[in-house]
Amino acid sequence: MNMLLLRNALVYAPEPLGLQHLLLGGGRILWMGAELADLPAALSVQTIDLEGRRLLPGFIDAHVHVTGGGGEAGFRTRVPPQGVSRFTRAGITTVVGLLGTDDVARGPQDLLATVYALREEGLSALAFTGGYHVPPRTLTGTVRGDLVFIEALIGIGEVAISDHRSSQPTLDELLRLAADAHVAGLMTGKAGLLHLHLGDGSRGLELVRQALAQSELPPRVFHPTHVNRRKALFDEALALAAQGCTIDLTAFPVEDGEDAWSAADALLRYLDSGAPAGRLTISSDAGGCLPVFDAEGHVCRMGVGESGALLETLNDVLRRGVPLERALPAFTSNPARLLRLAAKGRIRVGADADLLALDADGAAHDVMAGGVVHVRAGRVEHRGTFEHAP
């Protein structure tokens, strides 16, 4: 068991714990304390002095197109997959992969294989079964079977609603999916979520409101994402958070004058709204295509979601005066709780050694995934099998 000692870390767990030393081994945090005793030389412990840098839990990105997204404007617009260092150099140590618009040319087998590949490269990786469309594509024949029998699959998503690219699911179809997710979660202890893509359609979250009003399903099952893409949609999402749903912001670029909130703006508005602090998560949509459509539904331009958007969002809100311990849960402990990942999202003894140390400018100075150093002093130390050095 290789052991790593982190000295002089200013720990945010996410609550501030002051200057601490941490001993990592076997992928876990073995010990943490303010006073450091001499360790036996026979342990051959590697030491990194963080010199007072802020140490955070590694980010949990619950919406990532690990196989690549896109495809709305032809096969040439399919986004390629990302290597492991694209995540780790952005401070992300856990990802949840999913399929989007293209759940035909890209399928669940490819998604699951990519998740396993990321695990072999040292990242924590999980996935949602299905994709935009109903009925969803599965591996076992049913979504409940996928969640019960395939360990890496933890929910259903991203099922599209209020979007011209969706299969226009009915309330009954949505309820059946949510019920399957919920029951499978009960059977397995997994998250059991229905992760919902929100388009910019005028119906907004109406289907979710109807589902909550007309069923016995707990609100936590419904996890709508992209809720900051329209300002009115964000207001709808705030009301759902008050009812018990966890809502997800997307860290996509927002232009001046656009009818949308940036993730940083939306996070500030959420924190100031009085909504429950634990019911907000932020994801990157990394690897996903960010298309803009004309009035006839044709793609007129597109971008690609970037993993680095999470760290950019955090630094943006910190520059606006939000305390780190207030902003950090949306990137760490909140998604860990929602995804039922008990060993992640917090810095404490026994937790997974997924850690991010920031430099003075807020960039990733050191990143450890499962106690293994992936980024050291701002330099990528571990790359994926087919990644090339710059």
The answer to whether residue 354 is catalytic is no
| Selection from 123, 117, 133 nearest residue 81 by Cα | 117
Closest CA to 307 of 367, 350, 258: 367
**How many other C-beta atoms can be found within 10 angstroms of the C-beta atom of residue 202?**
10
Where would I find the beta strands (DSSP E) of the chain?
Answer: 3-12, 16-25, 28-33, 46-49, 54-57, 59-64, 92-97, 124-129, 153-161, 193-198, 222-225, 247-250, 280-283, 289-293, 299-304, 355-358, 364-369, 372-376, 379-380
Cα radius of gyration rounded to whole Å, the chain:
20
Rounded to 5 degrees, what angle do the CA atoms 44, 50, 51 make? 120
Pick the catalytic residue: 180, 265, 285, 316? 285
Tell me the longest C-alpha to C-alpha distance in the chain.
Answer: 70
SS3 content of the chain, % helix, strand, coil (to 5): 30, 30, 40
Distances (CA, A) of 194 to 154, 184, 246, 323: 10, 11, 11, 31
Task: Say if CB 32 and CB 5 are below 8 A apart.
Answer: no
Could you tell me if residue 274 is left (phi over 0), alpha (psi between -120 and 50 degrees) or otherwise beta?
A: left
Q: Distance between CA atoms of 236 and 255, rounded to whole angstroms?
A: 22
CA 252 to chain centroid: 13
Q: Which of the residues are catalytic?
A: 285
